[in-house]
Amino acid sequence: MTVTSLYRLNTAEWTFDYSAAVQLQNPGEPYVGWCPCYLLEHPDGLVLFDTGISREMAADPESYGPNGAPHMVDFLETLDLEVGQSPTDHLHALGYEPEDVDYVVLSHLHTDHAGNVDSFPDAEVVVQKEELRYAFWPDGVQRLFYLEGDISPLRGPSRDVTAITGEYDLFGDGSVVAFPTPGHTPGHQSLSVELDSGNVLLAADVANSRVGYEQDLVPSFAWSLEESLESIQTVRTRARLDDAEVIVHHDPDEQAKLPDPPDSLG
């Protein structure tokens, strides 16, 4: 079986310095990055890949989570929520409720990718074990991007969390396959999606722009430059072997390759 529909659901736009997104290039130039998540309809279940930015966090970062996230106040000055919707609002517009989501697959646990995990308490969460471990004890600049308010719900005793190691075939039919692409973070993963119309690789933050992907220029704050470059090659190789279209996560031109909801790829 294949995925019948792939929806791109944008949650916000976040403007940051181009040199942060594309390693030390064009400092001072603004880069307007999209912050989407993706809904996959499959005959055996509904899948959400990433969960976008939490509007609760954006509204009151100092009170967000067990210990707040006051350091986010300055970052939020360049966040535009008006151009997007929360994942749950997107789902409602498509005729779904949060409890209809069977799986939430997380590329990694940075706040712009895991901000609404608590909105899907009935879903099985699929995340790389390495990422789950690191997220609670990050180091260096990475400490800025992991928020307790995002990830602490994953520790709840009632949460169904599948911590994977390596490649993971979600339905056992090759239509939705998570595969490790570390470097941006220790446990970053991308998603291979098989549609009737062709194959798509949702690369997530393997690179933050098409230029970065094509020229091996990864974000300047990457956890590991060496592993980031290896993961770009991993995605390129897989795309060639699977004849797949690669979608780089934050690049608005890349996101324009996917239709606006309620339209979808199928």
- 204-260 per-position pLDDT tens digit: 999 999 999 999 999 889 999 999 999 999 999 999 999 999 999 999 999 999 999
Give the pairing type, strands 160-164 and 124-128.
parallel
Distance CA 167, CA 150 (A): 24
Q: Are 149 and 119 in contact (CB under 8 A)?
A: no
- 43-76 per-position pLDDT tens digit: 999 999 999 999 999 999 999 999 999 999 999 9
The residue that leads in pLDDT, 112 or 220, is 112
pLDDT of residue 177: 98
Q: Is the pLDDT of residue 156 over 90?
A: no
pLDDT of residue 207: 96
pLDDT of residue 36: 98
Read off the pLDDT band of 25 (50, 70, 90).
confident
pTM above 0.85, yes or no: yes
Q: Are 5 and 266 in contact (CB under 8 A)?
A: yes
pLDDT of residue 80: 97
pLDDT of residue 255: 95
- 1-15 per-position pLDDT tens digit: 999 999 999 999 999
List, in order of start, the domains of the chain with CATH numbers.
Answer: 5-255 (3.60.15.10)
Read off the pLDDT band of 20 (50, 70, 90).
confident
- Angle among Cα 102, 105, 106 to the nearest 5 degrees reads 145
Distance CA 187, CA 209 (A): 20
Q: Are 142 and 221 in contact (CB under 8 A)?
A: yes
pLDDT of residue 180: 98
Q: What share of the chain is helix, strand, coil (3-state, %, to 5)?
A: 30, 30, 40
Which residues pair with residue 8 across a beta bridge?
38
pLDDT of residue 256: 94
- 175-205 per-position pLDDT tens digit: 999 999 999 999 999 999 999 999 999 999 9
Cis amide prior to 262 (ω within 30 degrees): yes
Cα-to-chain-centroid distance, residue 94:
20
Supply the Cα-derived Rg of the chain in whole angstroms. 17
